[in-house]
Amino acid sequence: MSRTLPVQKNEYIDVIFEDLTHDGAGVAKVDGYPLFVPNGLPGEKAKIKVLKVNKGYGFGRLIETYEKSPYRVEAPCPIYKECGGCQLQHLSYEGQLKAKEKQVRDVLERIGKLDNVIVHPVLGMNEPWRYRNKAQVPLGEQEGGLIGGFYQQRTHQIINMKECMIQQEKNDEVVQTVIDICSRYGVRAYKEGNHKGDLRHIMARHGLVTGEVMVVLITRTNDLPHKNKIIEEITSRIKGVKSIVQNVNSKKTNVIFGEQTKVLWGEEVIYDFIGDIKFAISARSFYQVNPEQTKVLYEKALEYANLSGEENVIDAYCGIGTISLFLAQRAKKVFGVEIVPEAIEDAKRNAELNGITNAEFAVGEAEVVIPKWYEQGNSADVLVVDPPRKGCDEALLNTIIDMKPKKVVYVSCNPGTLARDLRLLEDGGYKTVEVQPVDMFPQTMHCEAVALLKLK
């Protein structure tokens, strides 16, 4: 089989990298056959060893770089290679922004068949480190004590991580303090192998503006040894803590959260601001992890919606109502839809908290609720979608096409599904006017983008 391919397994060849994969590996082509090579950067000339050949693509290892990319830098994080949480630390930030712009443009052309769409340069951060407001740390044991860290790539081994350079410092402090406390009270780390132990994960959430902290202890069973002592010490040692929550996950699974969530101490939520709007955030709700860039993203969505105050707006996949409440300041009425009931409770509370009375929220699947609204004779002037990575359900896109809102603002965390969905909307009568990528996840390959579509 491999005889018909342009490269052979174990062969050493010279290549020029043209591109990056979605997980940050370099892409080189030999007679059109793509080879994925970790650590290769676009523009670099290198010698590689071919490790594996499949029918349509292969993998290689970087042996020697003859010509380095001008954007190559030394990754500043000491555990960058083992961790795998970041993929682009070896690329300068300028290089990262260029790569993400290219990624968006390429998929819009390749998957969306959108040839002349305007893609603006990526809006990046001034300081692209220490931005995450949420840490989710799996636990292990070392020398009889607890450690928190990450799974070494392709293993179930936990590597000790005392700090993470894309995490807000406060979260590192919270996690290390909770580990120290639990360790001293003899709490055992959950072990996947025999499904024993107490504590599976620690989650920390930090409101950047308010300084409020939530600690979530994800345990195997209801019990946590010395629970009250642990709570007491967390409250006395961690400044800003407002909420301590336990989530019980008794299943043999690598999904982090279980179904049962209860408040152990303090409030059920913490608060934070994006712009002027205050948000209540509960343990299980989705909340954007980069608050500084979230503001940039939402302002762009608001600009694209270009509201005059007369419009009815639908915000599909609204989470805790973040975009909805941003839009409500300028719209006649906003209707938010979201599948997680707790998020909708938060959304309602958030509307109230900000004195916003022209926003309504409904629980359900966007692809079920919005078609029902449409059948009942309701429509929207502007429709915003912000789906998860898999993009919008086709039933929702078809309803948008029937409903004919004048504008669609598509907020996307996955350029590939964005491109696919834009194609469907284009075929249904919309024109993609422009696309603005926003860098919500510096040092990683993830890329967020907002697209403005108008009815033709």
Binding site for ligand SAH (CB under 6 A): 286, 288, 317-319, 322-323, 337-340, 343, 365-367, 386-388
CB of 392 to ligand SAH, least distance (A): 8
Output the CA–CA distances (angstroms, integers) from residue 328 to 59, 119, 257, 284, 324, in the order listed.
49, 27, 32, 24, 6
Neighbour count for residue 35 (Cβ, 10 Å)? 25
Cα distance between residue 326 and residue 329, in whole Å: 6
Q: Toward ligand SAH, which CB reaches closer, 324 or 432?
A: 324
Please state the length of the chain.
456
Q: Toward ligand SAH, which CB reaches closer, 35 or 411?
A: 411
Q: Toward ligand SAH, which CB reaches closer, 111 or 340?
A: 340
Please confirm, yes or no, whether 83 is among the known catalytic residues.
Answer: no
CB of 260 to ligand SAH, least distance (A): 19
Of 187, 202, 215, 186, nearest to 249 by C-alpha is: 202
Q: Toward ligand SAH, which CB reaches closer, 318 or 422?
A: 318
Binding site annotation covers 317?
A: yes
- What residues contact 335, with CB distance under 8 A and at least 6 apart? 312, 313, 314, 315, 324, 359, 360, 361, 362, 373, 380
Spatial strand order of the sheet with 448-455 comes to 118-119, 430-438, 448-455, 407-412, 382-385, 312-316, 333-338, 359-363
Residue environment code for 91-104, b if the CB has 16+ CB neighbours within 10 A, otherwise e: bbbebbbbbbbebb
Q: Toward ligand SAH, which CB reaches closer, 232 or 259?
A: 259
Q: Toward ligand SAH, which CB reaches closer, 139 or 318?
A: 318
CB of 331 to ligand SAH, least distance (A): 15
H or E, element range at 211:
none
CB of 346 to ligand SAH, least distance (A): 10
CB of 317 to ligand SAH, least distance (A): 3
Please spell the DSSP secondary structure of 287-320, one letter per residue.
--S-HHHHHHHHHHHHHHHT--S--EEEEES-TT
Tokens of 312: 């009815």
Tokens of 301: 């969505």
Catalytic residue among 83, 86, 413, 447: 413
CB of 116 to ligand SAH, least distance (A): 29
Cα distance between residue 191 and residue 118, in whole Å: 50
Among all residues, whose Cβ is closest to ligand SAH?
Answer: 319
Binding site annotation covers 386?
A: yes
Q: Toward ligand SAH, which CB reaches closer, 117 or 366?
A: 366
CB of 393 to ligand SAH, least distance (A): 6
Binding site annotation covers 288?
A: yes
Torsion sign, CA atoms 170, 176, 178, 180: negative
Q: Regarding beta strands 58-67 and 33-37, do their DSSP bridges make them parallel or antiparallel, or are they unpaired? A: parallel
Beta bridge partners of 67: 45
Binding site annotation covers 299?
A: no
Cα distance between residue 240 and residue 69, in whole Å: 44
Of 18, 90, 11, nearest to 51 by C-alpha is: 11
Binding residues for S-adenosyl-L-methionine: 288, 317, 338, 386
Binding residues: 288, 317, 338, 386
| Catalytic residue list | 413
